[in-house]
Structure 1
Amino acid sequence: MDRLFQSIKLEINDKIYLKDPQSSDLGKKIIEHSIVMIHELGFEDFTFKKLGAQIGSNESSIYRYFENKHKLLLYLTSWYWGWLEYQLVFSTNSIEDKKEKLRKAIEVITREVEVDSSFSYINEILLNKIIISEYSKSYLTKEVDKENKEGYFVIYKRMAQRLSDMIKGVDPEYLFPTSLASTVLEGSLHQYFLRDHFTSLTECTKSNSVTHYFTDMVFNSLKIEING
């Protein structure tokens, strides 16, 4: 059990921040209010000046934690994927049946997000909405290759590898386990975006869930009965 908790500890690449925001009350306030403001304003209109005014602090104090708002977005997205990885490992660790393990993993990755009381300064529901609408902005940049080499996306990639390994556990002969895994991770965000903004482009609704769609897609790709 100790090894399990070590593997799912939420640790963010220290190259992303100048000072760990989890180390102080001000840092936690920066994270808490940045989530609310990015959700309300959108990433483009969000600025450290506006954030400073909101939390009653100098703009310069925020720059002591993050070099720029891109690094803040990288921090928020890394935290989200680390938190989701925690949920994934905790929910699937004791499941022996490989098909059931994969089914549960898909559920954890694609289900509606609820607030986790373990982190009082982070609203996971709002953070999830930011990930749905803003995550691609963290890597669709000219610096993506450099940042990838520096490990900025390691948690997201590790999540994809965990799911890929579960897919291979169910069907070792399947040729595209990593492609399928990354499709589930990225595609689930896109389906929620479509559900909320372009309803004519998806069958996913509250009753016909995103989880149902990706469970069906994965097990049909593997040509294995979901409940078989």
Structure 2
Amino acid sequence: MKNLLSVLKISVPDKIYIKDPETSDLGKRIIEHSILLIDEIGFENFTFKKLGTRIGSNESSLYRYFESKHKLLLYLSSWFWAWLEYQLVIETFSISDKGEKLDKAIKVITRKVEIDSNFSHVNESVLYRIIVNESSKSFLTKEVDNENKEGYFEVYKRLINRLNEMITEIKPDYKYGLSLASIILEGGLHQHFLIEHFPSITNCNNNNSPTDFITQLVRNTIQ
């Protein structure tokens, strides 16, 4: 398993970028430091000029990889969803009990993320904070329908479909599997956001995690 992880390559839809950042040292530095800078100052205040200053590179060099900061956010989001999908597959593939498998999947999807040492240029824990706080900005745009047709969100949708398959394996006649799968993914993110920013309107906290809440919600729904 360790050897398998060491050769893993996270795949992001190639239309999102101009040049694959994984193919060069500069590209990896762009990814590494864009994550840290967005986490530090927020996506609204993030610019390629500021990133270029941070990594000691011309702003024009960054545009050789991404045509806009929006495309960069799409890349970071897709990278995270692909990485999370891999965690989901690895941690559930040997579980034969359908209920236990879904419970494990919910845990993987809704837990706080720790750093994965297999990707030294990506701090997954910091990237997760960006996903919680900023990822919706990648698709709450006027261009979302065209970008969807171009396949920008295929990894995100594939992850939801994996959850849907696990739900319908337990209850084949359940009509809202995709909707429930979407709630698992987005609901977990939202609860983590509320814990951090609006703790007075959620029951989730250090003692009652979003995983606990979502697991109970799903069990009660598909019993």
Question: What is residue 216 of structure 1 aligned with on the other side?
Answer: 216
Contact 1:9 1:86 in 2 (8 A): no
| Residue number in structure 2 paired with 1:226 | none
Amino acid at match of 1:111: R
Q: Percent of aligned pairs with the same residue?
A: 63
1:153-212: per-residue Cα shift (whole Å, max 9, x none)? 000000000000000011112110000000110111110000001011100011111100
Contact 1:191 1:210 in 2 (8 A): yes
Instruction: Give the match for residue 190 of structure 1.
Output: 190
Q: Which runs of 5+ in 1 are unaligned?
A: 224-228
Deviations 1:2-53 (A, max 9, x none): xx99xx8521111100100000000000000000000011001000000000
Number of corresponding residues: 219
Whole-angstrom CA distance in 1 between matches of 2:32 and 2:109 = 23
User: Which residue of structure 1 aligns with residue 27 of structure 2?
Assistant: 27
What's the counterpart of residue 75 of structure 1? 75
Runs of 4+ in 1 over 3 A off after TM superposition: none
- Distance in structure 1 (CA, Å) of the matches to 2:175 and 2:13: 32
- Specify the code of the residue in structure 2 equivalent to 1:20: D
TM-score by length of 2: 0.96
1:92 — aligned with what? 92
RMSD: 1.3
Give the equivalent residue in structure 1 for 2:107.
Answer: 107
Q: Distance in 2 between matches of 1:214 and 1:10?
A: 27
2-structure distance, mates of 1:140, 1:185: 16
Which amino acid in structure 1 is aligned with residue 200 of structure 2? S
> Any stretches of 5+ residues in structure 2 without a counterpart?
none
- Amino acid aligned to 1:75: Y
1:59-70 equivalent positions in 2, closer than 5 A: 59-70=59-70
Give 1:86-165 correspondences, 5 Å limit. 86-165=86-165
Cα distance in structure 2, aligned partners of 1:16 and 1:64: 12
